Structure formats: C-alpha cells, structure tokens
Amino acid sequence: MEENQKTPTHRPEPDVANSIPPQYDCGCLFSGSDNALYERHLLFDNVLASSEIGNRERYEAVAHSVRDILSQRWEKTEEIYDRENPKLIGYLSMEFLIGRSLSNNIVNLGLDRLARRFFHEHQLDELALLSEEPDAGLGNGGLGRLAACFLESMATMQLPGMGYGLRYEYGMFKQSIVDGWQREQPDNWLRRPDPWEVARPHLAVPVELGCSFEVREGSLRAIAGVPSSLLGIPYDRPVVGYGGKNINTLRLWASATPHVFDFQEFSAGDFVGALAERLTAETVTRVLYPDDSTSMGQGLRFVQEYFLVACSLADLVRRFQKNNSSWDDLPEKVAIQLNDTHPSLAVAELMRILLDVAKLDWERSWDITKRTLAYTNHTLLPEALEKWPLRWFELMLPRHLQIILEIDRRLGEEVQTRWPGDNGRIERIAIVEQGSHLVRMAHLAIAGSHSTNGVAEIHSNLLRNVTVSDLAELYPDRFNNKTNGVTPRRWLLLSNPGLAECISEAIGDRWKTDATDLKHLKSLADDSGFTSAVQTAKRRAKVRFADWLKAQAGIQVDPDTIFDSQVKRIHEYKRQFLNGLRIVALYHRLRQNPDLDTPPRTFFFAGKAAPAYHAAKLIIKFLNNLAATIDGDPLVRGRLRVVFLPDYCVSLAEQLIPASDVSNQISTAGYEASGTSNMKFMMNGALTIGTRDGATIEMAEAAGEENFFLFGLTADQVAKSRGWYSPGWHYEHEAEIRAVLDMIFSGEFSRNEPAVTDAMRNILLLGGDTYMHLADFTSYMEADSRLQSLYREPEAWHRKAILNIAASGRFSSDRTIGEYARDIWEVRPCPVPSN
C-alpha cells in the first residue's frame, strides 16, 4: 500500500530506446547527400571557405540540423497544447543551469546511434566538436540545476510545462585559480550566436515601473517619481523529452527599452539619449548574481526579480485568455511554481492583475491567487532568506506595496481572531518586519499560495517546525515535502554510456523512463559476471576522465587510485574544510609511518565561491596549498594526491561524477536542504561518505545504511550542542585533531602566508567553529577507515555500489515531478501523438 501511495500516477510511456522516432525524417541529416541538412548548414550558414571551417562551424551545423529535425515536433507540441487546452505548469525560476544541449537533444531524440555513425563516417572528433558548445550556466548551483532537471522530466512525462527565466547575457562567472586563489572572469556565453534559442519579438511584454533608472558607476540608481517602462523580449529554447514526443519550452526574457524603435523620438533629435536609455534597460538582464546567499543589498537584483515575474505572468495570462473566458478558471488551467522566494512578487503581481485589470473584488482575487501559486523553499540559512526594503517597493512598485500591506493587514486580523491578544505571534508572522521595514518574501509566498514545500524530508520538517513554525501552525495543510531528484537521462544515460549499457543489458532499458526499474539490479549484486561488468564500466569511466583531464588541463591522475570527490558550491556549512582536515590527517599518518599500508587515493575538489564570500575563498586557497604541498612531497608520491579542478560547471560534473568511487556529502547536519549531486553520484555507483543531512538520509534509507558510510552528529545533536560546543575541547583532548591543526597552524601548507593560517585558526578554533568541523572530525576518520578497508575487497565494494545504483531510482526527477503533478499542480499528461 505504502509503495503504491508513493508511486506517481503519471508514468511516461515506454521509451523508444535508440530507435528513431517515426515522426522524424532524419535520414537527411546524416546521409551525406547533396541536400543533407548538415552539409547545407556547414556551407551556407557562415559563408566561409571550406579551408576556414573549424570545429565551431561544424558544431553549429550539427546543432542547426538537429534543431531543424526537432522544430516541427516543437511546433506540434505547442499546437496540441493550444488545441487540447490542458492545465499548464509555469515554472518560474531566476536560474536554469542547463549546461550543454546538443548531446542531450541527440540522446533524447533517439539519434545517438546515427550521430555516432555520422561522426565516424565524416571523421569528426566528436568530443572536440561537442565541446565547442559553451555551457549555458544560468545558475549558481543546486537550485538552478534542479530547475533544468525538472523541465526535462516534465517534457519526458509529457506534462505541459513551461520554464520561465531570464536570458542573462553573462552567466555564472568563469573561475580560474591564480596562486591558489579564485579569480573570476565574465562568462560571455552568448558571444557567438546560440543555435538553440529562438527570439520571439512579436510576443514582447511591457513592464511598468514606478521610477526611472540610470546606471552610475556600474550600479543602477533609481530616479524617484518618474515612472518608466521596460520591454521583455522572449527567447525560447526547446526542452526535448526523452523519446522526442513532447518538446516543451524554456522561455527566457531579455530586457529592452520600448522606446528604441520610437522614430518620433529619433527625429526629435535625441538619438544619443535614446541609445543610452537602451543600454540602461538592457542592464536589467545583463548578469546573473553569482551569490547564493547574500545579494539583498542589490537594487538591480530586485528589479530582475520583478521583471521575471511581470513578463512571465503577462505571458501566462495571455495564453490563458486565448482559450478560456472566466477568471475563476485560472487555477484549473494554470499552476505556477515559485522556485524559492526569488519570484514571490508573483503574489502581488497576480493580485494586481486580478484587481486592477480583471476588476475582480479582493476575496475572489485572493482565492484565485492562492489556488494558482505554489512555493518551494530551498534553504534555511537566515542570510539566504530574502527580505527587501519597504522603501524599494515605494519607489518602484507603489501599487504592489499597497497590495502587500493589505495582505499583511488581513493576515494580522486572521492571527488575531485565532489567537486573540498574541501580539508576539502577529509580529512573527507579519510580512513586513517591524522595526527593520523589510518585507519578508518567504512569508508573502507562504501566505499567497496553496502549497509550501521543502526539498527533502528533514528539510521540510525543519522548515515547518523551526524556520516558519508560526505560519505552519496557521496553515498546516499547505506544508508538504517533495524530495528532490535528478534526471537519469543526463546523469546516467548521457554522462556514463558504459554503465548505462551494462545496466540495460542486465535489466532492459525501461529504467530510462522508469528509474524504479533499477531495483532489479539488486538481485544481481552477488552475480560475479554483473559485478565485474560494473567494475569494468567504472574503470573505463575513470580512464576516460583521466584522459579528458590530461587533454583539457594538462593534469595527470592515476585511475588506479581511489577517486574521492567533493564537488559543489564552496560554503562553510558544506565543510570542504572538514575534508581538508581528513586529508591532512591521512598525510600526517603517512609521514609518521611511511610503511603504512593504505590504498592510494586522489581527492578531487571543485566548486565556486561567491566573489564576496571571503571565508569560502580562503577554503579554496587552503585546498590548493594543500594540493601543492602534498604534490611536492616525494614521500607520498603515488599514494596521496589532491586536485582542485577549476571552473566547476555542468559539463565538468558530467565527466567527473561517473569516474568517482567516493562521494563526500559532509555538511553540518541540518544545513543542507537536500543536495542533488549526492543522487548523481549514487546513480553512477559511487559510495557515499556523509552526514545525516538533506536527502542523503533518504538515500541511505533506500539503499540500507550498511551500504553507506554515515558519520557525525545528527541535526538534533547539532542544535542541542550549539550552546555549549567548544572546538577548544576537541583540540585539547583529541590527539589527531591537535596534530592536524598544529600542522596547519605551523604554516606547513602556507609558508609565508600567515594571513591564511590566521584566518583558518579563527574559523576552526578561536571563532567558535560555527559549523562544528571538530565535533565530526573523529567520526569522519572512522568512517574513512571503514571505507579504506572495504576498498581492499573489490567484490564487496562493487556489491555495495550495485546496491546503491539499484536503490537510486527513487531519486529520479521523474518521481519528484510525478509528485508535484499529483499533489500540488493537479496536472495530467498531454501526449503529442506521433505523426
């Protein structure tokens, strides 16, 4: 029964695994005949002499050919949605971390075999050609990548879903490492035309603001009292579902001025003024904020958020009105999901539309708004919970402010009726924070929607019981959990073809669209033939990664060592420092006892620090110093290696994750909402060493804790020991901690850089060790010893790896989306029939 309950009602149809979908006439792409798509694009798109054609041009020609093939189907999807008028999901997100599209679209269209043959016949270097595509890095990390996985799942499950985001001209910055420190370079990913985007200027949307702006010294300044407007130009990208049946749309908005085409103004003489205005308007979508916790001081970010909301709601309302007549039907026809509070101005914007445009009364408007919107929370960190100054609303969105104040007044009344005289509670629940005059965006999102969800069980519980407990008590029925997931198409089929094939040979390929099918691998965990096939696949992925790394970065690593990875944003709570302490301890042990028999290891780190987050940048510096010291010590050569991989991005993850033996998920318990790289590693047969935090708890439960290396304090223990925890105690009483810290503080890893050592001493010891590194150190080392012992028994190791893969099906984003569709959106699939 329980099983059934959890099974989503919407299952995608069985896949077409590598058969060409009948609806495509794609022979021409790869035929080599005169009018083949590829040849034509190659010859005519760039107007270049054939001697000047390089891999970039070849990439573009292949991408355009694939786009030609999918374009009819994309059109058709739109046509069917228009005709069938199903309930539509609008997924609003400030971030979509898409990565590359070409190989993903080829696989999802079922063209991979043909493509491989084509590359072979044309003697094209497939890897070199694919890597001509820049990553679409329109996101910081987990939240943005989740949005991309969700869109892919919706398309695969034939759910009518549309992603709405911003077309940042500059995505997530490029990271390089200079002298161990992070350097940031702008990511000009649109420098060359992007074959996947289609501009739709005829669908542009005007956005009205209560003030004007000028750009001065790089920042946007408001000019009070002079209303202005912007134009949102949509750029559409295809989201190809696996099997290529439904092709949904990701619509990204670019800002422009509505006046630039105003010839009146031109002929009136202010040509230069008009162009300057255009530059100011275009500033709004110029750049993604590269900070996943604190950009609250930035007015431009606030404008970006409103711009996304205004454009996307106008678009959704326009679509709705095309086929529907009564506003009361809006919640039956549109479900809007707010990806974190970033688009939560949607509450006020939808109210404005219903009150001022549709002329409905307050009660009706409020009811429709709540039933249409739903909100997902992705973090409990107080510094990442958005609050915006009331003053900015006054300046830019005066009408929205009126509406928010009225929502707040009524909310206060509701609390007063329910808990008369409980003024403390009214204050805690209020949308506008007393004293600070800040608008709490999470409160607005919770009050103005019918669903609030966290992204893993533990996170949803903490959200409900701690972070917003008063609101949860007021609206208990709104709160629910939706544990995250990742798409098995990109994260297994595409990135690990060797393992994918080995799985399909064993259990067929239904798992590609029903990942719960992976459970059939469980019975093969003791099958020596299958175990050795998995082992071979891992070994090949490691060699492939090592070759790739050598070619890309000139870094040489040994596939015969344990590949032990921690890849994610650099944050104190994620505790890359703790991993560093473990490595120092292992190094120290070898120095004390060179004859120690330990399996050789390579530790990989990758991740970006917010440019203004000094402690995070220090972590990067320390890890690079550690790498250099260990590299320079002949005593541990071939036994220990630390590699910091610069510029972590989706494409790098696709290479590294399949090759990893060990996944580190070691956040201070209670701080990581869910994690999603943990799931990708699990699907690829890495074993997890981690704390009981986020979705790792559910992953261990699914695979059996005996197949995980869990360690450390629980979230409960962390919270309870906050008051009396003392890192000094651990330093005094635990010999290995002291040895490790003394080694670091002695400057061993940072010669002539006392500032680095001092800062580390402050974070780990003198400053109180907020994230409790020292409390978990010893149990981390114990878990690591268990891991080392297991690695000496390859059969036992791969048995556990298989049991992990077998249990990873639950962490497919298809399962997550099925739950959203059933519990929150109440949407059904709208299949686009084959021709």
CB closer to ligand 26V, 110 vs 454:
454
DSSP H/E element including 662 = strand 662-665
Please calculate the CA angle 68-74-80 and round it to the nearest 5 degrees: 145
Report the site for ligand 26V in 333-372 (rule: CB under 6 A). Answer: 340
455 touches ligand 26V (CB under 6 A): yes
Site for ligand 26V in 365-384 (CB under 6 A): 378-379, 384
- Minimum CB separation of residue 680 from ligand 26V in Å reads 11
Instruction: Name which position in 244, 646, 690, 694 contacts ligand 26V (CB under 6 A).
Output: 694
Distance, in Å, from the CA atom of 506 to the CA atom of 708, rounded to the nearest integer, reads 24
Q: Which is nearer to ligand 26V, 291 or 329 (CB)?
A: 291
Q: Does 622 bind ligand 26V (CB under 6 A)?
A: no
**Is 720 labeled as catalytic in the residue annotation?**
no
Q: List, in order, residues 6 or more apart from 429 with CB less than 8 Å away.
A: 411, 412, 415, 443, 470, 471, 474
**Residue 569 annotated in active site:** yes
CB proximity list for 672: less than 8 A, separation 6 or greater: 573, 574, 665, 693, 694, 696
The yes or no reply on residue 445 touching ligand 26V (CB under 6 A) is: no
Given 58, 100, 251, 568, which residue is catalytic? 568
Of 238-246, 291-299, 624-632, 708-716: span binding ligand 26V (CB under 6 A): 291-299
Q: Least distance (Å) from ligand 26V to the CB of residue 675?
A: 5
Under the binding rule (CB under 6 A), the answer on residue 280 touching ligand 26V is no
Active-site residue, selected from the candidate residues 67, 333, 569, 575: 569
Calculate the alpha carbon distances from 770 to 620, 671, 690, 757, 764 in Å: 19, 12, 19, 18, 8
Q: Nearer Cβ to ligand 26V, position 53 or 384?
A: 384
The piece of 23-31, 112-120, 234-242, 288-296 that touches ligand 26V (CB under 6 A) is 288-296
For 703, half-sphere exposure in the C-beta direction (CA atoms, 13 angstrom radius) is 33
Nearest partner of 816 among 10, 1, 2, judged by Cα: 10
The correct pick among 133, 135, 292, 776 for binding ligand 26V (CB under 6 A) is 292
As measured in angstroms, the least distance from the Cβ of 779 to ligand 26V is 22
Interface with ligand 26V, residue 651, by CB under 6 A: no
Q: Is 143 in the site for ligand 26V (CB under 6 A)?
A: yes
Identify the DSSP state of 468.
T
The answer to whether residue 289 forms part of the interface with ligand 26V (CB under 6 A) is yes
**Considering 680, 799, 800, 815, which one is annotated as catalytic?**
680
Kindly indicate which of the ranges 255-263, 583-591, 674-682, 789-797 contains the residues binding ligand 26V, using the contact rule CB under 6 A.
674-682
**Judged by CB under 6 A, which of 45, 184, 291, 422 binds ligand 26V?**
291
Which residue's C-beta sits nearest to ligand 26V? 142
Does the footprint of ligand 26V cover residue 484 (CB under 6 A)? yes
Identify which of 464, 398, 387 has the alpha carbon closest to the alpha carbon of residue 430.
Answer: 387
Residue with tokens 């996170």: 459
- Output 177 or 384, the one with its CB closest to ligand 26V: 384
- Catalytic residue list contains 668: no
Catalytic pick among 156, 372, 467, 676:
676
Binding segment toward ligand 26V, per CB under 6 A, in 290-298, 441-449, 468-476, 769-777: 290-298
Distance in angstroms (rounded) separating the CA atoms of residues 734 and 581:
14
Q: Which is nearer to ligand 26V, 246 or 379 (CB)?
A: 379
Applying CB under 6 A, among 312, 495, 676, 804 the residue interacting with ligand 26V is 676
Could you count the other beta carbons within 10 Å of the beta carbon of residue 574?
A: 25
Q: Per-residue contact track with ligand 26V, 233 to 272, x per CB under 6 A?
A: ----------------------------------------
In the set 67, 387, 574, 582, the catalytic residue is 574
| C-alpha triplet 532, 533, 535: angle, nearest 5° | 60
> Rounded CA gap, 500 and 512, in Å?
9
**Long-range contacts for 388-395 (Cβ within 8 Å, ≥24 apart)?**
388/296, 388/302, 388/438, 388/439, 388/441, 389/437, 389/438, 389/439, 390/432, 390/437, 390/438, 390/439, 391/437, 392/222, 392/299, 392/302, 393/439, 395/210, 395/211, 395/222, 395/224
Kindly tell me which of 385 and 541 has the beta carbon lying closer to ligand 26V: 385
Query: Does the active-site annotation cover 680?
Result: yes
- Give, for 339, the enclosing helix (H) or strand (E): strand 334-339
Q: Which of 210, 675, 818, 829 binds ligand 26V (CB under 6 A)?
A: 675
Helices (H) and strands (E) in the chain, counts: 35, 25
Comparing CB distances to ligand 26V, the nearer of 66 and 149 is 149
- Residue 672 interacts with ligand 26V (CB under 6 A): yes or no: yes
Name the strand (E) or helix (H) holding 222. Answer: strand 219-223
Residues 123-142 that bind ligand 26V (CB under 6 A): 140-142
Question: For the residues of 171-188, what is the DSSP string, one character each?
Answer: -SPEEEEETTEEEEE---
How many beta carbons lie within 10 A of that of residue 372, not counting itself? 25
Q: Which amino acid is at 109?
A: L
Shortest Å, Cβ 429 to ligand 26V? 23
Bridge-based pairing state of the strands 198-199 and 219-223: unpaired
Does 568 participate in catalysis according to the annotation?
yes
Is there binding between residue 295 and ligand 26V (CB under 6 A)?
yes
Q: How many residues bind ligand 26V (CB under 6 A)?
A: 23
Measured distance CA(147)–CA(161) in Å, rounded: 12
- Residue by residue, DSSP assigns 188-220 as -TTSS--TT-EE-GGG-EEEEESSEEEEETTEE
Query: Binding ligand 26V by CB under 6 A: which of 468, 673, 687, 710?
Result: 673
- Integer Rg of the chain from CA: 27
- Residues at the contact surface with ligand 26V, assessed by CB under 6 A: 140-143, 146, 289, 291-293, 295, 301, 340, 378-379, 384, 455, 484, 672-676, 694
Active-site residues, by number, are 378, 568-569, 574, 676, 680
